[in-house]
Structure 1
């Protein structure tokens, strides 16, 4: 009986370790990101394939309840206003378990989007299947994709910039620099940074 219990405990620990490892790994720069189909705040299902004229995407895992995510809301909106017309729209995805964070429910997402005047899709990762594919661990966590004939290639992973506390004191705008480089057909100098934010709630 003791051996059975030990085996069960080991199996449980192993499963947890594998699960955490999968979340931590996710996509690397250069990987092809698979498409998804998630509910938007307007009630429609949204996929990357819906954006026929896009050159790529600024995928943002974010939420209503994380102070880091809230601090970046205006900057995320500014990114969409600057780059959507140039072919790189923002696609925001809320990855948290709403039972753990009721403040991230679809109704709360709708209210927040209306309050802030979001101009980008704000999707819910309803079954929490997409963020582990990407390897997102924080809110916010950014993935810049470039659309190619071979699929949507991951070109940048990490933070929006180097100062979440004060937008006026930002020295390096990682996302803007990356998208600007892609638009000019140049190589991205900084392809990966550490995402700063709240842990995604499972």
Structure 2
């Protein structure tokens, strides 16, 4: 079922975390924070929305990192119900695709709840002071990647944040599979 997250709550402060990465390290928000901003994205291994645009996510992450934006990906899905999203499978996923950023496992789902993450992919773009400036889509792709010449919404928004400290007033929410929450 497709889920759309809420619109950007400008200035909302990024929630801290300490999560294990696929590289064997434990990462905090301070570790991933960039000089000109930080992108926190919630993704997973099996979501068709994520898989459709994974190459674009990797491209935009590299380009944003080159501009001083810190980038991190977090998977919070219930791996017991969705074994494709297990931590071991995350390690393979990140290595096979050559992630240039940490890929972290939120097994307790506390970080996803603190961010009010709704779907995969869900993008949170913060300014240098870790105030939220973007909560929108990567581009106009959905379950299938759109044409290669689509406007790079996330990239353009984060570029604007890096240059001005402000995100765009008009943002189109991301769409993707719901976060796979553990049973209560």
Q: TM-score, normalised by structure 1?
A: 0.79
Please list every run of at least 4 consecutive aligned residues from structure 1 whose deviation after the TM superposition is greater than 4 angstroms. Answer: 24-27
Map of 2:131 onto structure 1:
153
Q: 1:170 to 1:131 in 2, by over 3 A?
A: farther
1:69 to 50, 58, 67: 50
Map of 1:121 onto structure 2:
102
Q: TM-score, normalised by structure 2?
A: 0.86
Cα offset, 1:53, TM superposition: 5.2
Larger radius of gyration: 1
Q: Name the CA distance, whole Å, in 2 between partners of 1:190 and 1:172.
A: 16
Map of 2:160 onto structure 1:
181
Q: Which runs of 5+ in 2 are unaligned?
A: none
The alignment covers a number of residue pairs equal to 176
Cα offset, 1:54, TM superposition: 2.8
Q: Name the CA distance, whole Å, in 1 between partners of 2:104 and 2:136.
A: 19
Aligned CA RMSD, in angstroms, stands at 2.1
Deviations 1:105-151, CA, capped at 9 Å, x for gaps: 11100111111111111001110011111111110010001122xxx
2:140 to 148, 154, 162: 162
Map of 1:35 onto structure 2:
16
3-state DSSP of counterpart to 2:101: coil
Would the aligned equivalents of 1:32 and 1:154 in 2 still touch at CA under 8 Å? yes
3-state DSSP of counterpart to 1:147: coil
